[in-house]
Amino acid sequence: MNTLPTTSPPPVIRNPVLPGFHPDPSLVYADGWYYLATSTFEWYPGVPVHRSADLVHWELLGHILDRPGLLDLRGVPDSGGVWAPSLSWHDGLFRLAYSVVRTTDGPYKDIDNFLTTAPDVLGPWSEPVYLNSSGIDPSLFHDEDGRTWLLNTRWDHRPDRPSFDGILLQEYDAEKQSLIGEPVNILRHKDELIEGPNLYRRDGWYVLLLAEGGTGWNHGIRAARSRKLTGPYSLDPAGALLTTRDAPEEPFQKAGHGELVRTPEGEWFLAHLASRPLHTPQGPRCVLGRETCIQRVTWTEEGWPRLAHGTVRPRAEVPAPMSAPRDAAPGFSRPVRDEFDAAELGPEWSTLRTPAGPEWLSLAERPGWLRLRGRRSTFSLFEQSLVARPLPSVRCEAETVLDFRPSRFSQLAGLICWYDTGTHYYLRAGHSEGRGRVLGVVCADQGAYSELRESELAVDAWPLLYLRVVFDGPVMRFSASPDGCDWRQVGPECDATRLSDDYGSRLRFTGAHVGLCAQDLDGGRSPADFGWFSLRDH
């Protein structure tokens, strides 16, 4: 019997390509690889870099801002820190322009913009060059004549002026390592705030890609262009290239802030952020924060970019580049379980504001265990002993095993579900006078602190503490076990949607994380040992 030969289906890009907290993507092609860099805000190290050969399958390589000389985040506010980095490749050198935002409340931002370079994306990266402090979202444009230009959003603190006061352009001199000449404001948009500028040269046009409308539900991307570098620039008369601002039924919301890349075969793609909200009685809430997606782009005869599928809405599946192999497996590789048997933590882990140092974190003092020495409280903007990973799904579970013997109420350790210093849930072991070791849930809700003592477990006789949290859409549940088999719920069912960008009244940009932490509020740095950690979808 004759049978027809089977062929694999054409490869597709499945969005989000980077699920969970991966906002403000910057996409570049260099030497056969695509690289994605994203924002990290108060998380350390700064700016993770993912790599792909085909835009389909992505792997995390490491971080660019991985030492104190490149990044000082001590004391930055929640959702401050590293905003919207932009990665470029020119003349055999990677360049990263990035902002550090040190004030978020009130009219000011107190921004510093820096540049670091490296011949390899894994570094070593150069000591940072200070650029300016005039506004957020710096990016570099390398023109065909060999000159390099810095773009950034102009910030205006005056109450009678628009805060987002257009796009500044200024030349950068690589030999002098400084900006030269005077900045020129090349575009103001009276109807919508604009930010996230990136400049491209195509068919005699300077094409300016902009984030439009703010990074919330009104977010979008729009193009402008000019025959001259310094303008004047005209906005695309068709409106947004990408947005869901008028389509609340779309699964991807807040779509905006992106960068373009051209493949070696001449195809164009757009990396952008988007969020997938949970719909609750209180409104939509994005627990996973802002994620990275990729769309295919074509150009009109008039020279304007358009999404290839013919609408302005992001799609969940997009045809991959023509060079992508047919057996390319879509997805994002991430470890499910960490046995803590390596010499150092993997790049999927982050700390808050300061690097992981031997004074508080060790994988060697007790081989096969992660030892955290307790430091300041979960409300601290300075020295927390906390390691965490972004939540990968709204339906997932995290587990660990803890060996910890506190002797005072000020010594705490456990499993934490984190949004920021003001909002988090904490399944923590502590000491209670007369009861010994106890296990219970602590809740921080926009700065209001509470301990759910009525549901605490007396666990002094347990040899080890097995801890678990299950995220089930809008709710989450903590449980514990003395042996990893007999599980008991700890505390009530909690509202997981509080751990979202959309809960509360302050600026919130970072999505939910889950991780491990320890405190010793007396300054004794008592140790807490974790035997392993797992984080998996369910």
Label residue 429 by pLDDT band (50, 70, 90). very high
pLDDT at 4: 52
Say how far apart CA 421 and CA 392 lie, in whole Å: 20
pLDDT at 332: 72
Strand partners, 118: 94
Mean pLDDT of the residues in the chain: 96
pLDDT at 328: 60
pLDDT at 334: 82
Say how far apart CA 79 and CA 40 lie, in whole Å: 9
pLDDT at 326: 72
Label residue 5 by pLDDT band (50, 70, 90). low
Strand partners, 436: 432
Query: What integer is the mean pLDDT of 449-467?
Result: 96
Apex 95 CA angle, 188 and 258, nearest 5: 45
Q: What are phi and psi of 454, to 5 degrees?
A: -65, -20
How many angstroms separate the Cα of 463 from the Cα of each of 214, 445, 481? 51, 32, 10
Say how far apart CA 52 and CA 329 lie, in whole Å: 11
* 483-532 per-position pLDDT tens digit: 999 999 999 999 999 999 999 988 799 999 999 999 999 999 999 999 99
Nearest to 26 by CA among 18, 15, 35: 35
pLDDT at 333: 75
Nearest to 92 by CA among 135, 33, 146, 31: 31
* DSSP string over 457-512: EE-TT-SSEEEEEEEETTEEEEEEESSSSS-EEEEEEEEGGGSSTTSSSS---S--
Q: What is the CA radius of gyration of the chain?
A: 24
Nearest to 114 by CA among 140, 93, 143: 140
User: Token digits for 124?
Assistant: 């070593």
Q: Active-site positions?
A: 383
Q: Do domains 15-332 and 337-537 have the same CATH topology?
A: no
How many angstroms separate the Cα of 343 from the Cα of each of 213, 315, 380, 485, 533? 45, 41, 28, 30, 16
At 81, which amino acid appears?
Answer: G
Is 453 in a helix, a strand, or coil? helix
How many angstroms separate the Cα of 487 from the Cα of each of 385, 466, 480? 27, 9, 5
Residues 6+ apart with CB under 8 A from 226: 186, 205, 206, 208, 232, 233, 234
Is 223 in a helix, a strand, or coil? strand
Fold of the domain built from segment(s) 337-537 = Jelly Rolls (2.60.120)
Nearest to 425 by CA among 337, 526, 507, 514: 514
User: Token digits for 435?
Assistant: 């009861």
Which helix H or strand E contains 256, and what residues bound it?
strand 253-262
Say how far apart CA 363 and CA 241 lie, in whole Å: 48
pLDDT at 199: 98
pTM score of the predicted model: 0.96
Say how far apart CA 336 and CA 33 lie, in whole Å: 25
Is 364 in a helix, a strand, or coil? coil
Sign of CA dihedral 102, 193, 38, 417: positive
Residue 351 has pLDDT above 80, yes or no: yes
Say how far apart CA 393 and CA 25 lie, in whole Å: 19
Which helix H or strand E contains 294, and what residues bound it?
strand 291-299
Nearest to 271 by CA among 290, 289, 285: 290
Q: What is the distance of C-alpha 319 from the center of its chain?
A: 25
User: Token digits for 277?
Assistant: 């909200």
User: Token digits for 301?
Assistant: 């005869």
pLDDT at 150: 98
Residue 191 has pLDDT above 90, yes or no: no
pLDDT at 375: 98
Pairing state of beta strands 81-90 and 93-101? Answer: antiparallel
Q: Longest C-alpha distance within the chain, in Å?
A: 81
Q: Where are the domains of the chain?
A: 15-332, 337-537
* Domain boundaries 15-332, CATH class: mainly beta
Apex 197 CA angle, 195 and 200, nearest 5: 160
On the CB side of 121, CA atoms within 13 Å amount to 25
* 232-282 per-position pLDDT tens digit: 999 999 999 999 999 999 999 999 999 999 999 999 999 999 999 999 999
Token pair 């699920």 is found at: 19
* 99-122 per-position pLDDT tens digit: 999 999 999 999 999 999 999 999
